[in-house]
Amino acid sequence: MLPRNMPDFTSPSEIARETLRRLAAKRVAPTPDQYRAYYHEIAGTQAEEAFPTQAFKGIAHALPRSTPESLRLAQQFEHAAASGSWPMMRRAILALSAAEHEQNEQMLARLLHPALTALLADTPELATEARQLAQECEAPTPSDPEALARRLESFIRKLEWAGEDQHAVRESLLALLRLILQNISDLVIDDRWLHGQLSVLSEAFAGPLDIRVLDEVQRRLLDVIDKQSHLKRQLSDAQERLKSMLAGFVDRLASFGNVTGDYARVLEGGADRIAAATDMSELSDVIGEILTETRNAQSAAERSTEEIATLRAEVDSANQHILRLQRELDEASELVRHDPLTGTLNRKGLDEALEREIAMARRRGTLLCVGLLDVDNFKQLNDTYGHKTGDDALKHLSTVVRESLRPQDSVCRYGGEEFLILLPEADLSEASAILTRLQRELTRRIFMADSSRLLITFSAGVALLDPQEPAHIAIERADRAMYAAKRAGKNRVLTAA
């Protein structure tokens, strides 16, 4: 007699027939799951887990296929899912795992070199260690993984220390620079030529350093220095001409003094001769000589008066020229790349900001959007409240824009009541959302015209700038979208196709 734990049926056909008989006897529906359970119960075996084909196919569909290698791995996984074979699926999963590990090692190597080595130019020993670690990560047969992990951990600690040191050095240098700027400002109270440059530097170093800020400071200072050098040369020439005229004036006064001195000596000598005269003929000669010298002195005095008047007019003209140059020099010290009314960038500043942002987008592979906005009903506001109120409204708008935009954004007065905004690192939807938030902020911050509360709104168009296309093409697309927003009812933002 067989043991109780041994099955009564040994051949697959006998087990199958008995399975169907028991399902019928117990009136159990012969579903695949019920059949499998009774079959293994009769055979005394363990049922294998069902193969989740649909779930695996869903995973296969979601796998990346952007590179030839990822496409190959996705197709391998997809084939294993369709086969229903656990061994094939095991191989496919292991292949994915190995590829993921290799990709992580490659990314770590790229992070170490060239990314980190470029940032460690001031610490060559750390840059060398980063290159060595990158080479080990990329090696076909890496060294002891645990030893490599320990080296990476040690390197990370060194990076933390170096970062703290560099941060401390940077903060100390900035503090020192701010102190120098403050001291120079105190020393040059009467030198307005330097105040423009110092204000630009002080403004730039007041907050966190940024490549955009530093680039803008450099461009503005170069322009200011060039303009000031030109005007200073003109001012120096004008001052030299004024000195020359004053020297001539003094010389003329001296020559007139010589004439009057000679005349005084003639009069004094005539008086002596009159006192010693013995007859009228001697008096006649003396009087004739005095009359001649009197006419000569009178003629010299008239000439001197005319020349002095001419010199005075020239001096006045030179002084006016110097004052005009001084005013131009003072103006040159202001923000020469900014609109004088609103403080936003002018066209020159926009061209340079566009050049910088396009180059940065190409270098980093990031997006760049442009937004063109136009104040709604601005002519009506001007006609109703006057041009001064219109100017104040533009200043109010530009203030709200500058305070509401992100630090990396730039705003330019494009013309009249139009403003162009550069929105780096933003796609069309993000750029549109930024301008929409700006519209909401304008509705919150009411503009006051005398005692009237006015709501300033704008219509805007947004375009994504292709780094390979000329900037004016994207601006034209944003302009068309802006006019479409005007026609659609104003106070809205539309994106360009």
Answer whether residue 232 is part of any domain: no
Check residue 6 and give its pLDDT: 46
Check residue 217 and give its pLDDT: 67
Same domain, yes or no: 385 and 481: yes
Check residue 318 and give its pLDDT: 63
What distance in Å separates the CA atoms of residue 496 and residue 484, rounded to the nearest whole number?
A: 10
Better-scored residue on pLDDT, 146 or 115: 146
Residue-wise pLDDT tens digits, 121-145: 777 888 888 888 878 777 766 567 7
Same domain, yes or no: 462 and 485: yes
* Phi-psi label, residue 111: left if phi above 0, alpha if psi -120 to 50, beta otherwise: alpha
Check residue 176 and give its pLDDT: 62
Of 64-68, 295-299, 307-311, 320-324, highest mean pLDDT: 64-68
Of 266, 298, 332, the residue that ends a domain is 332
- Spatial neighbors of 138 by CB under 8 A, at least 6 apart, are 105, 106, 109
Same domain, yes or no: 376 and 457: yes
Answer whether residue 359 is part of any domain: yes
Same domain, yes or no: 353 and 463: yes
Check residue 178 and give its pLDDT: 65
Check residue 25 and give its pLDDT: 86
Answer whether residue 249 is part of any domain: yes
Answer whether residue 4 is part of any domain: no
Same domain, yes or no: 86 and 136: yes
As a whole-number percent, the residues of the chain with pLDDT over 90 amount to: 22
What distance in Å separates the CA atoms of residue 407 and residue 132, rounded to the nearest whole number?
A: 38
Chain centroid to Cα 281, Å, comes to: 98
Of 332, 366, 397, the residue that ends a domain is 332
Least confidently predicted of 194-198, 309-313, 358-362? 194-198
Residue-wise pLDDT tens digits, 334-373: 446 788 899 899 988 899 899 889 988 888 889 999 999 9
Same domain, yes or no: 387 and 411: yes
418-447 burial code (b ≥16 CB/10 A, e <16):
bbbbbbbbbbbeebbebbeebbeebeeeeb
Residue-wise pLDDT tens digits, 47-90: 666 667 777 778 888 888 877 888 888 888 888 888 877 778 78
Of 161, 196, 230, the residue that ends a domain is 161
Phi (first) and psi of residue 248, to 5 degrees: -65, -40
> What integer best gives the mean pLDDT of the chain?
77
Check residue 8 and give its pLDDT: 65
For residues 345 and 338, is the Cβ–Cβ distance under 8 A? yes
For the chain, report the end-to-end CA distance as a whole number of angstroms.
86
Answer whether residue 313 is part of any domain: yes
Check residue 292 and give its pLDDT: 73
Check residue 253 and give its pLDDT: 52
* Entry pTM: 0.47
Q: Which residue, chain included where needed, has tokens 């549109």?
A: 432
What residues make up the domain containing 423?
347-495
Residue-wise pLDDT tens digits, 404-441: 998 889 999 998 999 999 999 999 999 999 999 999 99
Residue-wise pLDDT tens digits, 365-389: 899 999 999 999 999 999 999 999 9
For residues 478 and 462, is the Cβ–Cβ distance under 8 A? yes
Of 42-56, 351-365, 446-460, 481-495, highest mean pLDDT: 481-495
C-alpha dihedral (137, 138, 143, 144), degrees to nearest 10 = 40
For the chain, give the longest Cα–Cα distance: 193
Same domain, yes or no: 155 and 295: no
Of 317-321, 345-349, 395-399, highest mean pLDDT: 395-399
Same domain, yes or no: 355 and 463: yes
Q: Which residue, chain included where needed, has tokens 């005349």?
A: 263
Check residue 216 and give its pLDDT: 65
For residues 19 and 8, is the Cβ–Cβ distance under 8 A? no
2-20 burial code (b ≥16 CB/10 A, e <16):
eeeeeeeeeeeeebeebbe
> What crossing angle do the helices spanning 387-404 and 378-385 adopt, rounded to 10°?
130
Domain CATH number, residue 366: 3.30.70.270
Of 219-233, 245-259, 382-396, highest mean pLDDT: 382-396
Pairing of strands 458-464, 447-449: unpaired
Residue-wise pLDDT tens digits, 145-191: 777 778 888 888 888 877 777 777 667 666 666 666 666 556 555 55
Same domain, yes or no: 382 and 457: yes
Same domain, yes or no: 156 and 264: no
Same domain, yes or no: 317 and 424: no
Check residue 132 and give its pLDDT: 83
Better-scored residue on pLDDT, 265 or 13: 13
Same domain, yes or no: 263 and 388: no
Number of separate domains in the chain: 3
Answer whether residue 215 is part of any domain: no
Catalytic positions are: 417
What distance in Å separates the CA atoms of residue 363 and residue 378, rounded to the nearest whole number?
A: 40
Sheet strands side by side (includes 368-375): 410-415, 418-424, 368-375, 458-464, 493-495
Answer whether residue 21 is part of any domain: no
For residues 460 and 450, is the Cβ–Cβ distance under 8 A? no
The amino acid occupying position 301 is A
Check residue 149 and give its pLDDT: 78
pLDDT bucket at 485, cuts 50 / 70 / 90: very high
Answer whether residue 35 is part of any domain: no
